[in-house]
């Protein structure tokens, strides 16, 4: 990575850490270009604007960068209001039908931990449902103008829907019924556990629809580990989300987080995720949390997710699931995912197709998995 790119990254993390820097005297065109590229690609212009706009150091920045940040922030705020209105309508409709979705990741954290929701950019809205509610969920989505557009891989457990109703800023939906696409992580945070202590987002729904702070940080660590295992680039916003979630834990919540990480056997994942936050922000405040996680000494199959390019489906993962309930649910995910999901994936409506579609899905998924393994 070029030196100017490293400096731009450090400059950004200084801002996100609460230390608003003046424009460097030695900054050249390469630095300015690298900074603007990162702010654009990482969706950070609105957040940087909201964090910096009232700081005296902000006035030392080049006028064109400040103006671009201002315009992007105002545009994002307008988009956010439109998306908020639309998703509130959908959540109200679902809750009125006895269905209680959980808003995941950035779309929830934007309201629970950011001062302005519009400062947290997002390209879609992730919703978690109980598996048993999926048939009714799909009917309501389609009645509300959402159209199925994709599935996530042959053995994936996620469906994407686009909003076809009038409006320029409608965000697509990602529909989940488990908390991760990785076998080892999929049922560590189940819907029933999450909904039992869900938090409220008054701007989006009358009833609780978000993970509580402990669950939210556990899920953020799982999400980080999943992308680490996939060899993906880790977005700056994901690190910042974890930073806000971890810094926001009270003493009791921190203890519950550490206890949950131990019980779910993901302490190594959580420790690594917190270490990534500490490294990015040069943050000693989270030392206590990191130390408590490192004091947990136990074997954890999930730790292999810290390896880059760890396979998302491996037979040894199945047999390493010691919990019989999680093992049963994981096998069900692979062999018999929800029928409505399979029918939508293949563009069919008649349930008589299901045996053939299940067989095709499994065989095609296993062939693709074998090909990936051979390429490693």
Find the mean pLDDT for residues 59-65.
97
> Are the C-beta atoms of residues 321 and 182 closer than 8 Å to each other?
no
Quick check: 3 pLDDT over 50? no
Top-ranked range on mean pLDDT: pick from 218-222, 281-285, 340-344: 218-222
Rounded-to-integer distance, Cα 39 and Cα 320, Å: 41
Confidence of residue 117 (pLDDT cuts 50, 70, 90): very high
Query: Higher model confidence: residue 3 or residue 80?
Result: 80
Greater confidence, 352 or 184?
352
Domain boundaries, the chain: 3-74, 75-335, 340-375
Closest CA to 201 of 125, 93, 91, 121: 91
Report how far residue 80's alpha carbon sits from residue 87's, in angstroms, rounded to the nearest whole number.
Answer: 10
Q: What does the pLDDT read at residue 264? A: 95
> Mean pLDDT across the chain, nearest whole number?
91
What pLDDT does 156 receive? 60
| Bigger pLDDT: 231 vs 62 | 62
Domain 75-335 part of CATH 1.10.10.10: no
CA nearest 223: which of 245, 248, 192? 245
The residues pairing with 150 across neighbouring beta strands, listed in sequence order, are 160
- 156-173 residue pLDDT tens: 667 889 998 886 677 899
* Most confident region among 75-84, 130-139, 178-187 by mean pLDDT: 130-139
pLDDT in tens, 354-371: 999 999 988 887 887 778
Q: Distance between CA atoms of 212 and 87, rounded to whole angstroms?
A: 20
Judged against a pLDDT cut of 60, whether residue 153 lies above it is answered with no
């Amino acid at each position: 990575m070029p030196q100017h790119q490293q400096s731009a990254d450090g400059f950004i993390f200084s801002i996100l850490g609460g230390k608003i820097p003046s424009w460097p005297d030695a900054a050249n065109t390469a630095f300015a270009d690298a900074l603007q590229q990162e702010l654009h690609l990482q969706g950070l212009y609105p957040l940087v604007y909201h964090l910096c706009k009232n700081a005296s150091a902000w006035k030392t920045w080049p006028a064109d960068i400040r103006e671009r940040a201002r315009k992007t922030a105002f545009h994002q705020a307008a988009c956010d209001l439109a998306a908020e209105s639309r998703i509130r309508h959908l959540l109200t409709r679902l809750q009125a039908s006895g269905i209680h979705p959980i808003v995941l990741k950035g779309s929830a954290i934007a309201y629970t931990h950011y001062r302005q929701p519009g400062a947290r950019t997002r390209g879609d809205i992730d919703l978690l449902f109980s598996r048993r509610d999926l048939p009714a969920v799909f009917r309501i989505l389609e009645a509300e103008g959402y159209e199925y557009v994709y599935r996530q891989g042959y053995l994936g457990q996620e469906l994407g829907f686009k909003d076809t109703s009038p409006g320029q800023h409608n965000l697509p939906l990602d529909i989940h019924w488990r908390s991760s696409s990785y076998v080892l992580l999929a049922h560590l945070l189940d819907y029933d556990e999450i909904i039992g202590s869900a938090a409220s987002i008054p701007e989006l729904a009358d009833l609780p629809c978000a993970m509580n702070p402990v669950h939210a940080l556990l899920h953020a660590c799982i999400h980080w580990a999943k992308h680490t295992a996939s060899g993906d680039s880790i977005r700056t916003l994901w690190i910042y989300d974890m930073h806000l979630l971890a810094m926001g834990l009270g003493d009791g919540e921190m203890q519950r987080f550490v206890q949950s990480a131990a019980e779910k056997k993901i302490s190594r994942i959580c420790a690594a995720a917190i270490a990534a936050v500490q490294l990015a922000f040069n943050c000693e405040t989270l030392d206590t949390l990191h130390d408590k996680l490192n004091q947990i000494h136990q074997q954890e199959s999930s730790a292999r997710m810290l390896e880059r390019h760890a396979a998302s489906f491996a037979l040894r993962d199945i047999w390493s699931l010691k919990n019989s309930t999680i093992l049963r649910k994981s096998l069900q995910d692979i062999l018999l995912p929800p029928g409505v999901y399979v029918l939508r994936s293949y563009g069919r409506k008649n349930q008589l197709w299901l045996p053939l579609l299940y067989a095709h899905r499994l065989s095609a998924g296993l062939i693709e998995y074998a090909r990936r393994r051979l390429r490693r």
